[in-house]
Amino acid sequence: MSASAVDKAALEKWVPRTRVGRMVLEGKLTSLKEVFDKNLPILEPEIIDYLLPNLKYERIDTKIVQKMTDAGRRTKFLVVVVVGNEDGFVGVGTGKAKQYVDALAKALRNAKLNITPVRRGCGSWECRCGEPHSVPFTVRGKSGSVEVVLKPAPRGTGLVAGDVAKVVLRLAGIRDAWTESFGETRTTLNFAKAVANALHNTYRFVTPVEWLRT
């Protein structure tokens, strides 16, 4: 299921509680990239809603978890979602609650707070089109026992990956990529987090192209 992740009604009533939130509402910060460039903390999900009005989400896993307490067995819903604008930003989040709707709301909030920028490019020597349709170079990501390798692919290749990885890559704006995975990839949360970590690692160093821009 995919739909808009922005709660417009709640956004209209938003009263910022942090300095970054007030700067966004006052117009001093006009893009999410500017927030990351200045290394400012994002502690309110409304900041993401305000700066990324076209944000989308997709639920990738839902299951029932149980916990044994003195009062008996407690059952809750655990929801895993991915949010992204399909243009360079993506996040993975989880939520747990007694009601499914509350768990989904918590997962969306958590995913927005975990959103990360993604550097895209055309790193394949077979393509060299210069368009941001793939990753700019080979990157690795890890979460738990799962490790994922993302490799640049020429235009038209598509996403050669598992279903969970495809959702994360698509919402991040990656249209072509080869992937290689290791570990217990049946664990949906770790698989999604490993892909998100690999995409986050595209910003670990500055490429020669960025040297020219700066």
Q: Which residue, chain included where needed, has tokens 């991915």?
A: 82
Q: Letter for the amino acid at 49? A: D
pLDDT of 1 over the 70 cut: no
Q: Which two tokens stand for residue 174?
A: 């990656």
From the list 94, 132, 90, 146, the residue with the least C-alpha distance to 115 is: 90
**Domains of the chain, CATH where assigned:** 3-117 (3.30.160.20), 139-206 (3.30.230.10)
Backbone phi, psi, residue 191, to 5°: -65, -45
Lowest mean pLDDT segment, chosen from 44-48, 55-59, 111-115, 202-206:
202-206
44-57 burial code (b ≥16 CB/10 A, e <16) = bbbbbbbbbeebbb
Please give the residue that has the higher pLDDT: either 169 or 127: 169
What would the pLDDT profile of 20-36 be if each residue is shown by its tens digit? 999 999 999 999 999 99
210 pLDDT tier (thresholds 50, 70, 90): low
Place 114 in a pLDDT band, splitting at 50, 70 and 90. Answer: very high
Residue 192 token pair: 């999604």
Nearest 5°: the CA angle 13, 16, 19 is 165
Average pLDDT over residues 60-87: 91
**pLDDT band at residue 212, thresholds of 50, 70 and 90?**
low
What contacts 24+ positions apart, CB below 8 Å, involve 93-101?
94/189, 96/65, 100/62
- Identify the sign of the CA torsion 180, 62, 43, 86: positive
pLDDT of res. 200: 94
The pLDDT of residue 130: 78
Whether 48 shows a pLDDT value over 90: the answer reads: yes
Report pLDDT digits (tens) over 90-99.
999 999 999 9
pTM given for the model: 0.90
Signed CA dihedral, 152, 155, 161, 165: sign only: positive
The predicted pLDDT at position 10 comes to 77
Look at residue 37 and tell me whether its pLDDT is greater than 60: yes
